[in-house]
Amino acid sequence: MVTSDSAVYYVCVPGEDAVASQLTNTNDVTAAVPSAATSADAVDAFSSTIAAIPSVLLSGGGRLPLVSLGTGSGQHADVATATSLWIRNGGRAIDTAHDYMDQRAVRKGIASSGVPASSLFLTTKISCGTYDKASRQIADNLRQLGVPTVNLTLIHFDYCDAGGSLESTWKALEDAKADGKTRAIGVSNFSPADLQKLKRQARVWPPAINQCSLSIGFHDDATIKYCDEQSIVYMGYSPLCGGVNGSSCTHGGVMSLPQVKAVAAAHSVSPAQVALKWIVQQGRPLATAVARADYIREDLDLWSWGNLTDMEMETLSAI
């Protein structure tokens, strides 16, 4: 637990420190009800009607809810409102980044939700650069979000600024973790080769997360396999292949695929819910960018209806 001047910060699963040093895998998923610290008044009635959102245990500590709000899609002018709506509807995880330049809006959205930041799972990211630049971005992130620590900080991309390196950036993250500025550390858009390079120098291993583009029709199976073997949780972004930043995902969106529509009709849910369920049913967390209230509710409501059948999972995985 970390304390600030005015408040006790960070509430997660009691006893998690005891298991924090164990390596984890994507099968280690349990359902967790939003923290009791949540102000009931601030939460829409909807949040009490959806099934609990499961979470995955991270190497290094903490449980990441399987569905995060991604704020960095570029198409959401009003990140503060989207953040507030997400939380008021029961969302407890938010994925932002130094590069998104929206962390003050995230802070505003959290404040207006009425739910304390200490009840949320905050993920942020830094660029690959020198040790000093990485340390500055870590400090900026905390200042912009208005918190003394975040739950998870990632190296955003595997390419670095001049003079910087993956190793120097990872060292800054390792030190930030030791100083209590971030609970867990991880990477994003890393290939197996990048990870192997990092492993040779790392004091903290494995990274808690490798966040990569993942959707029906776009899955990097070799990297997924490597991460599973190394107990690195493989987290999906652009799960609907929908955002302007989902540049690696080029097939134009999963929601219009006929196979996805057929499965959605069979379960009486939306194609988006099927696309998200295909990821979380594998035990993998995801970040989806969403602003519309009805979409937010769909994206959070993935567990009050049945699982996809094995055959449906196989059909969707084969696309």
Ligand X SMILES: NC(=O)c1ccc[n+]([C@@H]2O[C@H](COP(=O)([O-])OP(=O)(O)OC[C@H]3O[C@@H](n4cnc5c(N)ncnc54)[C@H](OP(=O)(O)O)[C@@H]3O)[C@@H](O)[C@H]2O)c1
Chain residues binding ligand X by CB under 6 A are 70-73, 75-76, 95, 156, 188-189, 211, 237-243, 245-246, 270, 272, 287-292, 295, 298-299
Closest approach, Cβ 5 to ligand X, in A, equals 30
Q: Is the Cβ of residue 20 or residue 46 nearer to ligand X in the bound state?
A: 46
CB distance 151 to 123 below 8 Å? yes
Burial class (CB in 10 A: 0-12, 13-18, 19+), 278: buried
**Termini Cα distance of the chain:** 44
Q: How far is the CB of 3 from ligand X (least distance, A)?
A: 29
- Rounded to a whole number of angstroms, the minimum distance from the CB of residue 88 to ligand X is 15
DSSP strand pairing (93-95 vs 121-128): parallel
Confirm if 10 and 57 have CB atoms less than 8 A apart: no
Nearer to ligand X, 60 or 70 (CB): 70
Nearer to ligand X by Cβ, of 158 and 175: the residue is 158
Q: Which CB, 56 or 272, lies closer to ligand X?
A: 272
Q: Strand, coil or helix: what is 9?
A: strand
Closest residue to ligand X, Cβ-based?
243
Please report how close the Cβ of residue 257 comes to ligand X at its closest, in angstroms: 13
To ligand X, the closest distance from the beta carbon of 11 in angstroms equals 23
Confirm if 151 and 121 have CB atoms less than 8 A apart. Answer: yes
Which residue lies nearer to ligand X by CB, 26 or 245?
245
Closest CA to 232 of 191, 180, 203: 191
**Residue 280 CB, nearest approach to ligand X (Å):** 13
Cα 232 off chain centre by = 13
Cβ-based nearer residue to ligand X, 168 or 213? 213
How long, in residues, is the chain? 319
Contact 55, 11 (CB under 8 A): no
**Least distance to ligand X from the beta carbon of 216, Å?**
11
In the complex, what is the shortest distance from the CB of residue 259 to ligand X, in angstroms, rounded to a whole number? 17
- Output 135 or 189, the one with its CB closest to ligand X: 189
Which residue, 203 or 292, has its beta carbon nearer to ligand X?
292
Mutual orientation of helices 293-300 and 79-88 as an angle, nearest 10°? 50
Q: HSE, CB side, 13 Å, CA atoms: give it for residue 308.
A: 27
Please say which residue, 15 or 95, places its beta carbon nearer to ligand X.
95
Nearest distance from residue 145's CB to ligand X, in Å?
Answer: 14
Identify the sign of the CA torsion 214, 215, 220, 223. Answer: positive
Q: Please report, as a single letter, which amino acid is at residue 260.
A: V
Ordered alpha helix ranges (H), the chain: 16-19, 79-88, 103-113, 131-145, 166-178, 192-201, 221-229, 258-267, 271-280, 293-300, 310-317
